[in-house]
Each structure stands twice: as C-alpha cells, then as structure tokens.
Structure 1
Amino acid sequence: MSEGAHLRKQEAGRPDASHQTILYLEDLNVSFDGFKAINNLSLHIDAGELRCIIGPNGAGKTTMMDIITGKTRPDSGKAFFGQTLDLLRMSEPEIANAGIGRKFQKPTVFESHTVAENLELAMHGDKGVWHSLWAKLNGEQQAQIDATLLTIGLTEHYRRPAGALSHGQKQWLEIGMLLVQKPYLLLVDEPVAGMTHQEMGRTAELLTSLAGQHAVVVVEHDMDFVRSIARKVTVLHQGSVLAEGSMDEVQDDPRVIEVYLGE
C-alpha cells in the first residue's frame, strides 16, 4: 500500500486514544497579514476531559478551534487527534467524521422542523434533508435519539418546532445534534451567551454530564459559569498558553490577573 493510500485509510477511521490524550497541539503558529494569531501554541486534551479555555478577545481561541476543525491551516506545528490522525492532512468533513464536533456561539438548527427531526437530520449526516426525514430509523437509532433527548432535557419537546424553543433550548438541541454523531471531542463556543440564570445552570449540568463519555472543550467569557464547571482551565494570551491549572490556581496567577481577570 502506498503512503498516500495508507494515510487515506488511516484518516477514514476514528482516533486511537489508548495513551489517554485525545488531542495534541504542538508548537502551532498562524499569522494573518503579519498579525500572529497563534504563537507556538501547545495544548493536550485527555480523552473524557472537560477543559475550559479562557482569555481576552484576540487571544487566539477561535483560531485554535479553526485549526482543530480544519478551517484554518497553520503555518507550522503539529495537530493530532488521538495517536494516529494528523488533523493537518485531513479535510473539514474528514475531521468531523473522525469524531470532532463543534458548536458555534449562535445556534444553527432547522427551525421549521421538530426537535426529533433535527436530531434525525444530524444523525443521517449530509444525505439531504428529505431523504433523511423519509429514511426509517432502526431500533438502535431510535434508542439513541431517545437517550439524547433525555440528556439534553428536551424529551417533552420532541414534537415542537425548533423555532419555538427558547434560546437556551436551541443551544441544548444543537449540542444534541452533535451527540447523535457520537463525537470523541466536542468544541463548545460560548454556550451560555444570552441565557437566563436557570438555563445557565442546566447547561452547566449538561456539559459536566458529558465529560467522561466525551472530551469537552468549552470556550467561555462568563467567569461565573467557568467556575461552576471548571476542572482544568487553560488561559490563552497573544496566541499561546499563558497559564493552566485549576480555577483557583489560574485566578491567583499574577499574569492572568494582569491580562484578563483584572480587566
């Protein structure tokens, strides 16, 4: 088998997390028109870990997620998913199929379709809306949708149009749409922006419940929310890791106080 064929076969699979680490970023660098958005960034995420990423605007958080999902190619460095999948050799669809799900800040759901239909569409992937809705679910798929509805707290709303949900419920539905794709790693961008306090509390419960089954990386500006879920926190500043540790360790770090928490 040629090297290229071997890589294609390898990248069509799922990640090998036998050494515990699901995501390796090493010495990544990205510049945009002379601005260094990512500067020698190194970050390791363990399988099943819940990690919070914080940092001021322009710290490189979004660019980092763009690299992980294949939207942005770094100028240099390494990015591996598990032991064997080289993210820098993979397309965005290949990365998604390998088990990396990304939730953007603004929820993107099919508002005219029901909650259950949204989950079905996500499960069937890119086969087309009408084909997906006419395709009959097997028992295992229906059980997975039922379990996902329970996880995201929308069992009673499964027949409601997604457009009729509250902002928080739409966020949970979108997380469910990622969960039915059985990701190993979830990237969640500012999940509680615009939520009520009650919705924030439910979101904290949801994300902490997912850890262990999935690695979850949460990028968030709301420090109260981060404190409510944080196990390990990484602080980015000027495109690199400034500090890492528990929330208490990070918030007591003089460098973090100066560049972020003290703003």
Structure 2
Amino acid sequence: MSLRDTFRRDQVFAPLRPGTRPVRPGQLDTGGKHILYMEDITVSFDGFKALNDLTLYIKPGELRCIIGPNGAGKSTLMDVITGKTRPDTGSCFFGQTMDLTRMTETEIATAGIGRKFQKPTVFPEHTALENLELAMAGPKGTWQALLQPVTGQQYDWMAQTLETVGLLAQKDQLAGALSHGQKQWLEIAMVLMQKPRLLLVDEPIAGMTRQEVERTAELLQSLAGEHSVMVVEHDMEFIRSIANTVTVLHQGSVLAEGKMQDVQNDPKVIEVYLGETG
C-alpha cells in the first residue's frame, strides 16, 4: 500500500475518517493527521479538466508551497477549498468533520479558512487600524463596524496583528498611501483578524522589492505553526527560501510532492516546470 493510500478515508479505521467523528456542529476537529483532506478531486470547465483526480493533504501548522506552470490548477485548487468552485467528483474535508463541498463560502470562512488574493484588496480611504477593524470576525456593515466602539481587548488584538505583519508604526496611516508590499501585509493582517486555522496565500510577492520579499518570507514562516499556510507562488527563489514541503501541480494533478531539494531534482518536475522557469 502506498503512502498516499494509507491516508485515504477508505483506508482509515472508520471512527477516524473525515466526516465520522462525533463533535459539535461547526467545531474543527483535527483528531486525525491532517487539517485538510482533498481526495480524488476533479473539476471540469467545458470539458477541460482544471483538476484531474487530485489528492492533497495538509497537516496542522505546516507551511506548504504549491507550484506549477500556468494552467496547472493552482487557482482552481484554492477555489475548491474556499467553496467558490464545486468539484465534479471527489471529497474535500476541513478537519475530520467539515465537508467543504457542502458549505457556502461564508460558512467556510467562518469555519477557519482564510484566503489572501494576489491583488491586495484593502480599504484605501481608511487607516491600517480601521482596515483591521472592518475585517474583524463577526457580521457587520462598514459603518456599523466603524461606529461601534472598539474594546480594549480588540484594540490590543489589532495592534498585535499589525505588529506581526510589521505595520504597527503605520497603524494611523491611510491604507492607500502604503507601499505595494505594505498593502500585501495589511491584507494578510486583515485575513488574520478572521482567526483562520488554514491560510491560503496567492502569489504574495508579486511586484515587491527585494527587501519586501525577504520580509514576506519571514512573515509567512512565522505564521506557520499557529496556522496552516498554503502558498502559491511562481518565484522559485522565494519558494526555496521558505519551502519545507512542496507540491507540484501539472495538468490538474499532483506531479510530485516532497522536500524542496528532492522535488527540484525530480526529472519530471524539471521537464514540465523548473526547466521552463529557470
């Protein structure tokens, strides 16, 4: 039996299978080895298989890098996890009990999965601190959020989050006046305000200066442990600087997976990806 088969739900003792452990509704149960289970996922668009029998597992607290050429299925992978796209076949579980294929995007975000898109989407006319206030977990409108007094505990939390991403000194600065890299960090901070257990980060260093890239690498590494972090990125130098485990996608499937040094020397990976990007 292969390692992949060992972790499949149909190869795990029934009480430990995702979707079978009795816990309170909405409670994340990581009683198994993984926080995310994706098994045999296929997604087709007009006959084109964006994902093709893809199986992927993410451990609690790990930093996983996802690489692959354009069209490999990286964005579709994140769309399935966040509920934006429903798979044609396969299963996707968050922890042991939450079937992501049966949950709405809002339910998935509330359950503890946060996504930072490639292009930063901050509120430019509000300060960095106000952006975090708007992003704070809990349903509310923009004006309701800004008019409702912030408690001391909430303020400390926002300040701590800004410090985590290196923006505490800019807390009163308008988000629109921040540099591109700072806006990226601010959006990561906004996602962190939702208290995600799994954080999806899409091409975080696009358009950054070298100094900002180095700071982003440090930030993502510091978030791993408390959060599971999945990073999709094309810059191989950046991936090498942060990667422990790397998953390579090709034509919607997992081509290779393992330690960075092993993956980058895999002839299949060199042929379809690394050889093209240098």
- Answer yes or no: same fold by TM over 0.5: yes
Q: Following superposition of structure 1 onto structure 2, how do residues 144-159 of structure 1 map, counting pairs within 5 Å?
A: 144-159=157-172
Deviation of the 1:146 alpha carbon:
1.2
Deviations 1:38-60 (A, max 9, x none): 00000000010100000000000
Q: Which residue pairs with 2:8 in the alignment?
A: none
Deviation of the 1:124 alpha carbon:
4.6
Query: Does the CA-based 8 Å contact 2:44-2:50 persist in structure 1?
Result: yes
Deviations 1:121-140 (A, max 9, x none): 00054411110011112222
Tell me the C-alpha RMSD between the 2 structures: 1.5
Counterpart code for 1:128: G
2:113 matches 1:100: yes
Q: Which residue pairs with 1:193 in the alignment?
A: 206
Q: Which residue pairs with 2:132 in the alignment?
A: 119
Q: Following superposition of structure 1 onto structure 2, how do residues 150-169 of structure 1 map, counting pairs within 5 Å?
A: 150-169=163-182
Q: Which residue pairs with 1:207 in the alignment?
A: 220
Query: Does the CA-based 8 Å contact 2:128-2:173 persist in structure 1?
Result: yes
Q: Which residue pairs with 1:7 in the alignment?
A: none
Q: Alignment partner for residue 145 of structure 2, among 102, 121, 132? A: 132
Q: Which residue pairs with 1:86 in the alignment?
A: 99
Deviation of the 1:20 alpha carbon:
3.4
**Which sits farther off after the overlay, 140-149 or 22-31?**
140-149
Give me the identity figure in percent.
Answer: 68
Gaps of 5+ in 1: 1-9
Deviation of the 1:11 alpha carbon:
8.8
Q: Alignment partner for residue 34 of structure 1, among 40, 47, 56? A: 47
| Distance in 2 separating the partners of 1:140 and 1:12 | 27
Q: Alignment partner for residue 55 of structure 1, among 68, 71, 93? A: 68
2:91 matches 1:72: no
Gaps of 5+ in 2: 1-22
Q: Which residue pairs with 1:226 in the alignment?
A: 239
| Distance in 1 separating the partners of 2:242 and 2:24 | 33
Q: Which residue pairs with 1:247 in the alignment?
A: 260
Deviation of the 1:18 alpha carbon:
2.1
| Distance in 2 separating the partners of 1:240 and 1:182 | 30
2:236 matches 1:257: no
Query: Does the CA-based 8 Å contact 1:11-1:98 persist in structure 2?
Result: no
Q: Which residue pairs with 1:180 in the alignment?
A: 193
Matched residue pairs, number?
256
Counterpart code for 1:245: G
- 1:28–1:181: structure 2 CA closer, same or farther, 3 Å change rule? same
Deviations 1:226-247 (A, max 9, x none): 0010010000000010000111
| Distance in 1 separating the partners of 2:141 and 2:212 | 32
Query: Does the CA-based 8 Å contact 1:109-1:174 persist in structure 2?
Result: yes
| Distance in 2 separating the partners of 1:57 and 1:15 | 33
Deviation of the 1:98 alpha carbon:
0.2
Query: Does the CA-based 8 Å contact 2:248-2:257 persist in structure 1?
Result: yes
- Name the TM-score, length of structure 1 as normaliser: 0.95
Counterpart code for 2:231: V
Q: Which residue pairs with 1:43 in the alignment?
A: 56
Counterpart code for 2:105: E
Alignment partner of 1:262: what SS?
helix
Query: Does the CA-based 8 Å contact 2:83-2:105 persist in structure 1?
Result: yes
Counterpart code for 1:185: L
**Which sits farther off after the overlay, 12-21 or 40-49?**
12-21
